[in-house]
Structure 1
Amino acid sequence: MAMGKVGKTVETLGDYLREQRIAAHLTLRQLAEQAGVSNPYLSQIERGLRRPSAEVLQQIAKALRISAEQLYLRAGIVSPEGTAGSVELAVLGDSRLTERQKQSLLDVYASFIALNDSTI
């Protein structure tokens, strides 16, 4: 069941990225070049076949001149609920951490939230 949710989130992200790219009058190739990713990789993200890292989403957001937070929400990296998003955004926005360290922190944080929610 969780896999279906992830797939749906990524598909929604891809649709959103495609809409934003078209609205910005950019081809897939142009956006890939501006974001510093390969054309095939960006195509796979738009088609929902790949789930990009927070760092790649940030590069894409910068190239599209849109909020990285919106992409994080669409990708399911950040929760739209309450203060949880601010902790997640702080971790994602810290340039001193590697991508792997960010993901590890987010995983630990999510497990603590889930544990606390189940005991309430």
Structure 2
Amino acid sequence: MAEQNEAHGPMEKVADIGRDIGEYIKQQRSNAKISLRQLSKLAGVSNPYLSQIERGVRKPSAEILQQIAKGLRISAEALYVQAGILDLPTGGPVGDAIRAAEELSERQKQVLLDIYESFRRENAASKDTHTRSEQHDHPQD
């Protein structure tokens, strides 16, 4: 029984990430109604290699993920997050909506996300300043 518990060590997590990204790519390809062969051409990746990625046998590099994202017409950032290369982006539902907007180009999405994040940072800083001044005006007894 102890051996099964050890199966969730760092190497197993890497294997899980490989499977997860492969499943995610396969799901995105299926949603886009693109065959494995079509995606391999669009992404400039060999058919067998792409198949191995989807099955979790191979873990693709960031460059390969970028090519696959371009072939799927999705954000490379989405694949990087799935692969564990990037942390989950902030922004909650607004950020998710921007990333999901199919009518926007990747550049337009990034500009909107940058603006949105700058507003969030500005408002958070303003709130911190306001909170500090209130605490200064009303010291606790």
Residue in structure 2 matched with residue 37 of structure 1 by the alignment: 45
Give the percent of matched residue pairs that are identical in Structure 1 and Structure 2: 59
TM-score (norm. length: structure 1) = 0.65
From 55, 65, 68, the equivalent of 1:57 is 65
Residue in structure 2 matched with residue 76 of structure 1 by the alignment: 84
TM-score (norm. length: structure 2) = 0.56
Residue in structure 2 matched with residue 66 of structure 1 by the alignment: 74
Residue 22, structure 1, aligned to residue 30, structure 2: yes
From 7, 28, 32, the equivalent of 2:15 is 7
Q: Deviation per CA, 1:59-111, whole angstroms, max 9, x where unpaired?
A: 100110111011001111112277xxxxxxxxxxxxxxxxxxxxxxxxxxxxx
Q: Which runs of 5+ in 1 are unaligned?
A: 83-120
**Structure 2 matches for 1:88-103, cutoff 5 A?**
none
RMSD (CA atoms):
1.3
Q: In the alignment, is the contact (CA less than 8 A) between 1:72 and 1:78 conserved in 2? A: yes
User: Size of the alignment, in residue pairs?
Assistant: 82
* Distance (whole Å) between structure 2 residues aligned to residue 7 and residue 53 of structure 1: 14
* Distance (whole Å) between structure 1 residues aligned to residue 87 and residue 70 of structure 2: 21
* Distance (whole Å) between structure 1 residues aligned to residue 89 and residue 31 of structure 2: 28
* Distance (whole Å) between structure 2 residues aligned to residue 29 and residue 50 of structure 1: 17
Q: What stretches of structure 1 move > 4 A for 4+ residues in a row? A: none
Q: In the alignment, is the contact (CA less than 8 A) between 1:10 and 1:74 conserved in 2? A: no
* Distance (whole Å) between structure 2 residues aligned to residue 64 and residue 81 of structure 1: 20
Q: Deviation per CA, 1:11-51, whole angstroms, max 9, x where unpaired?
A: 11111100100111111011001100000000000000111
SS class of match (1:22): helix
Q: Which runs of 5+ in 2 are unaligned?
A: 1-8, 91-141
SS class of match (1:52): coil
Residue in structure 2 matched with residue 47 of structure 1 by the alignment: 55
SS class of match (1:19): helix
Give the number of the structure whose alpha-carbon radius of gyration is greater: 2
